[in-house]
């Protein structure tokens, strides 16, 4: 992040309880670690694992978490899914396949609305994610309140665990913060240019172009001037950018230019 950028306080969360992530029988420590990293990106910290194939703790998971140690250090391991969700008030099962389980189905953004509302009230919620190879079984889906699925291509619907966690976590945080971004350009350090300075830039540029007979034929000059001015207006120039452009024009004005070919030369070519 640029040293000129300030953190937007609206992007921070302190009073909304984030959901738990429950991984059912994950096979690889690396997948647990990348899921933990995705959680940390969006402020989720409660990672629960049901019967990890390679046991726990896992150095491969910690390495793949890429410094999301605060998530890895708090991991809870359970022998059953029932035990992993016992303290939660509302649970989503994530799946990309149609099930013979009569459950409401919603998208990640719709699920985020419910989870954020519960989190504001301090109620614990969670998302259940299935195995790498075949996801959740019907008995596990039956333990959830609703199903959340992503608008993926039906002919290639499989996501890895971290991808699925990332999408759900992203939608949750976007909802929880009303889409607030962590930073924007600091306008105190880069204030927009006042119109007087912008007009002087236009006049400087147009004068320099007149010197090199850029506007040809002359009757086209007003139209070409409007076009150039519109181009720069779209840029929403800052004071610093206007000064830089004036410097560029000044440097070009002092440059030795090649003589233009005459109309006679053009005819002889």
Per residue in 71-112, pLDDT (tens digit) is 999 999 999 999 999 999 999 999 877 767 788 999 999 999
Q: What's the whole-number mean pLDDT along residues 121-135?
A: 93
Residue pair 126/169 in contact (Cβ under 8 Å)? The answer is: no
Rounded CA separation 149/107 (Å): 5
User: At 250, is the pLDDT very low, low, confident or very high (cuts 50, 70, 90)?
Assistant: very high
> What domain count does the chain have?
2
* C-alpha span between 249 and 225 (Å, rounded): 16
Residue 72 and residue 45: Cα distance in Å, rounded?
Answer: 9
Same domain, 93 and 226: no
In a domain, 1, yes or no: no
Q: Tell which of 159, 183, 207 closes a domain.
A: 183
**Residue 262, in any domain of the structure:** yes
Both tokens of 115, joined, read 């989870």
Show the domain range for 218: 195-268
Q: Does 218 fall in a domain?
A: yes
Residue 187 has pLDDT above 80, yes or no: no
User: What pLDDT digit, counting tens, does each position of 15-67 carry?
Assistant: 899 999 999 999 999 999 999 999 999 999 999 999 999 999 999 999 999 99
Question: Do the domain assignments include residue 208?
Answer: yes
| Whether residues 97 and 122 fall in one domain | yes
> Of 183, 205, 223, which marks where a domain is finished?
183
- Within a domain: residue 188? no
Among residues of the chain, what percentage have pLDDT more than 70?
87
- Identify the bridge partners of residue 20 per DSSP, sorted by sequence position: 46, 126
Please check whether residues 42 and 108 belong to one and the same domain: yes
Looking at the fold, whether 79 and 207 belong to one and the same domain comes out as no
Residue with tokens 């006042």: 194
Residue 264 has pLDDT above 80, yes or no: no
Residues 163 and 226 in one domain: no
CA distance 164 to 63: 20
Task: Kindly state whether residues 50 and 21 are assigned to the same domain.
Answer: yes
Residue 35 resides in a domain: yes
64 and 151 assigned to the same domain = yes
Considering the domain architecture, whether residues 57 and 103 belong to the same structural domain is answered as yes
Where a domain ends, among 160, 183, 206?
Answer: 183
User: d(Cα 38, Cα 142) in Å, to the nearest integer?
Assistant: 26
Strand partners, 192: 238
Give me the pLDDT at residue 125, please: 98
Whether 133 maps to a domain, the answer reads yes
């Amino acid at each position: 992040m640029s040293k000129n950028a300030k953190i937007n306080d609206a992007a921070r969360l302190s009073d909304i309880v984030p959901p738990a992530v429950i991984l059912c029988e994950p096979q690889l420590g690396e997948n647990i670690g990348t899921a933990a990293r995705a959680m940390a990106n969006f402020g989720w910290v409660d990672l629960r694992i049901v019967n990890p194939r390679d046991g726990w703790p896992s150095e491969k998971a910690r390495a793949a978490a890429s410094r999301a140690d605060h998530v890895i250090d708090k991991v809870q391991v359970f022998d059953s899914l029932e035990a992993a969700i016992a303290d939660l008030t509302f649970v989503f099962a994530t799946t990309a396949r149609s099930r013979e389980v009569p459950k409401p189905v919603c998208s990640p953004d719709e699920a985020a609305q419910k989870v954020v509302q519960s989190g504001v009230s301090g109620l614990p919620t969670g998302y259940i994610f299935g195995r790498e190879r075949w996801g959740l079984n019907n008995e596990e889906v039956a333990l959830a309140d609703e199903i959340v699925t992503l608008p993926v291509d039906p002919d290639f619907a499989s996501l890895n665990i971290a991808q699925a966690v990332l999408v759900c976590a992203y939608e949750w945080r976007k909802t929880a913060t009303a889409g607030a971004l962590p930073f924007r350009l600091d306008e105190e350090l880069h204030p927009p240019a006042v119109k007087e300075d912008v007009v002087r830039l236009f006049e400087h540029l147009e004068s320099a172009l007149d010197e090199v007979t850029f506007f040809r034929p002359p009757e086209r000059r007003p139209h070409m001037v409007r076009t150039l001015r519109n181009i720069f207006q779209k840029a929403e120039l800052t004071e610093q950018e206007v000064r830089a452009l004036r410097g560029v024009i000044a440097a070009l004005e002092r440059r030795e230019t090649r003589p233009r070919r005459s109309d006679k030369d053009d005819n002889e070519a």
